[in-house]
Structure 1
């Protein structure tokens, strides 16, 4: 029984084991697969990058542009007188870049083509070939300079800007057409633009010029300065102009031809105001500065406009106003004294007597007793040798010419009792009055020079006297007679009174403007200040004053007839009566 139970237990255990094996999960047999091998990773081919045009190098472009506009060629300008000559001979293409309303109001130069400044580069097909002469003009020269710069950078090799614009043309009394508009420009073939990025840059600048064209007027700038607006004034004229012609107080001088090498001295976070003499150079540099990211404006009309507005100029004298005031207020005797009156004064209350001739002349011709000798070129360097400014002084030379120059200089410096011996030592001798010979005057005794309040005025007068040439800017009667017979004869200016002309006659062909009216009638003189001019009066005194005044306002070729009409008649040359 027990055995039977043990047998059953064993059978049951075997069955249970078999059952468990049957229920166990059979490991699947992996069949061979036919999957393809993994493909290698493909590196994507880089797409071609879009072509990026090189941006124009403004600094290099403007450096070259400036080099192409040298001072000896007027920085790329042409004067109104010169343009007028060219229009009569071989006319350049004349481009007016003002607005239509300006042309309707102020007229235009005959034969000009009108394309407003903002539209010029979109109309290159209306311009001549790039090597043909082009003259641009606007109202004052500012916009013309911008267009000139753009065209030159695009390859136009013979482009100039009318200095001072239409304003200068009119000031020269040259004709304009009014009551109509210029004919529409004819279309032709535009040149190939080799540098599209540069064209786009320049056209973008001109096309987007704001009202005012990035120019600031003199009165607005003056107001900004008075109100203390933060800005940097940059004078781009030459160092010589800066020194000799004055400047706006506070301006720094970075000359045009050196400008691009000084960019590091200019801030980008402060507005800049650029100025030159007329606006031309300033406009060109303002354009370059704005393309470089500077906040820059150009003074419209330059320092000339600032002066015309009678705004303060440091280190400068308004010689036009100074001489106009002096000549207009000359008394009837023109600050002269006759030989007879001087002789009487020397016997009673002697004035300080100043001989301004050269030493060799004193040795040869003698001198008036009691005279102090200081040659004309050295007088203003020896003011300590003269008496006080309110004491009487009489100056003399050989004929009255040099004496007049010194008399004028001393009076302008505040010497109130200075006169010139009419006719000089020649008149003294002609009156049979005595001279000292065989010796020289005693050296002058130094004292105390007066305080010179206006050093710029003093410097201008001293520069004039110190640099007088050997002939002191005189011309002899015989030489004038020859010159008047030549094709290029001088302009002859007679500054005597109308009564004198009627009484004493005049040289044929002379233009009559009394000396006290000269500065109100300057428009009657040649517009080209380099034109030869000979001034004459009766004895040389007034002629010398006119000569000095004209030369000090820029007339560069003025002479005075030595001895005046008296010397002309003494030489037996003809006069008209």
Structure 2
């Protein structure tokens, strides 16, 4: 048996002390790490669950989409005007075109900041009907009006391709102007700020390819041919997408719940959205832009025939399967 010397006892004691110190250090480091990590995790959860009034409103707009999809048929609209139904009509064409002839009872807020400036002067207790030239910018306007608390719908295909094509529309076409009165509706301050910025932003794109938050059919074709880095989104039905779509497009079918797919879209690219004639794409673009995406819509959509010569197919560009 090996003799246990004082020297060996001393070495053993040193080893035990070092071991205890190492365990203590490891334990203390773990406590420090836990103390640092816990507040960070808690703060991150709070940030992720914070949702602005604008974001909640945009998501609700698509989640609660009604059967009429925020539009009204042009003939039905004229019938309501003739019947004298209680409503508010907003013409967002230029002041010159409004003066030349507009729907009886319509108020004029030309496309741009005049719309956001007039929000508080629009009554919220009656339906609001909006029309432009082809329905596309009215689609954007309708989305923003609903966000502000109005029950708003756009007139299908606007003045040029919808209203003026209805037999007997002349009976409701007048030239006398209507002037906005005093404030009658209180607009949520956060929403008002967001919509002020939305319409003011039109000035930034006025002289660009994306004027009016839109892109022309020819410019989109050039973007595709030049292999520009952008994201192309079709919101037509899955069936119509399968039967023919613009080359390179992805599909999120238009309808209630489509907002659940927005998080899959890129925020570092321009998103070009197209539908059939431009109206639902206009609604989608407004919602996406208010959520922070750089979105624009294709002028005239795919082209539904009735809006010729606007639209991709009406310009002679192909669809692929």
Please give the range of the TM-score, normalised by the shorter of the 2 chains.
0.7 to 0.9
Confirm or deny: 8 A CA contact 2:70 2:153 kept in the other structure. yes
More helix by share: 2
* 2: CA distance, partners of 1:509 / 1:448: 47
**Displacement after TM superposition at 1:536 (Å):** 0.4
- Which residue in 2 is equivalent to 1:534? 272
- The CA RMSD over aligned residues, in Å, is 3.1
Match of 2:196 among 442, 459, 462: 462
- Which residue in 2 is equivalent to 1:323? 58
- Which residue in 1 is equivalent to 2:296? 559
Q: SS at 1:332's partner residue? A: coil
Confirm or deny: 8 A CA contact 1:367 1:435 kept in the other structure. no
Q: SS at 2:232's partner residue? A: strand
Q: SS at 2:103's partner residue? A: coil
Say if 2:177 is the partner of 1:442.
Answer: yes
Match of 1:345 among 73, 76, 80: 80
TM-score (norm: length of structure 2): 0.75
* 1: CA distance, partners of 2:68 / 2:260: 21
Confirm or deny: 8 A CA contact 2:122 2:185 kept in the other structure. no
> Cα–Cα, structure 1 residues 324 and 448, in superposed 2: closer, same or farther, change >3 Å?
closer
Map of 1:139-218 to 2, 5 A cutoff?
Answer: 209-213=32-36, 216-217=39-40
* 2: CA distance, partners of 1:430 / 1:510: 32
**Displacement after TM superposition at 1:354 (Å):** 0.7
Say if 2:318 is the partner of 1:568.
Answer: no
Confirm or deny: 8 A CA contact 2:144 2:286 kept in the other structure. no
**Displacement after TM superposition at 1:207 (Å):** 11
- Which residue in 2 is equivalent to 1:548? 286
**Displacement after TM superposition at 1:549 (Å):** 1.8
Q: SS at 1:391's partner residue? A: coil
Q: SS at 2:197's partner residue? A: helix
* Number of residue-to-residue matches in the alignment: 277
* 1: CA distance, partners of 2:54 / 2:148: 14
* 2: CA distance, partners of 1:447 / 1:318: 25
- Which residue in 2 is equivalent to 1:492? 232
Match of 2:122 among 386, 394, 412: 386
Match of 1:451 among 164, 168, 186: 186
Unmatched 5+ stretches in structure 2 = 1-24, 304-310
Q: Does 1 or 2 have the higher relative contact order (CA < 8 Å, sep 6+)?
A: 2
**Displacement after TM superposition at 1:352 (Å):** 2.0
**Displacement after TM superposition at 1:393 (Å):** 1.5
Q: SS at 2:154's partner residue? A: strand
* 2: CA distance, partners of 1:483 / 1:331: 35
* 2: CA distance, partners of 1:356 / 1:362: 8
TM-score (norm: length of structure 1): 0.44
> Cα–Cα, structure 1 residues 445 and 324, in superposed 2: closer, same or farther, change >3 Å?
closer
> Cα–Cα, structure 1 residues 370 and 439, in superposed 2: closer, same or farther, change >3 Å?
closer
Encode CA deviations 1:228-266: one digit per residue, 9 max, x unaligned. Answer: xxxxxxxxxxxxxxxxxxxxxxxxxxxxxxxxxxxxxxx
- Which residue in 2 is equivalent to 1:480? 220
* 2: CA distance, partners of 1:441 / 1:400: 23
Between structure 1 and structure 2, the one with the greater Rg is 1
Confirm or deny: 8 A CA contact 1:395 1:419 kept in the other structure. yes
> Cα–Cα, structure 1 residues 555 and 383, in superposed 2: closer, same or farther, change >3 Å?
closer
> Cα–Cα, structure 1 residues 463 and 565, in superposed 2: closer, same or farther, change >3 Å?
same
Q: SS at 1:211's partner residue? A: helix
> Cα–Cα, structure 1 residues 210 and 563, in superposed 2: closer, same or farther, change >3 Å?
same
Encode CA deviations 1:166-223: one digit per residue, 9 max, x unaligned. Answer: xxxxxxxxxxxxxxxxxxxxxxxxxxxxxxxxxxxxxxxx99944232661575xxxx
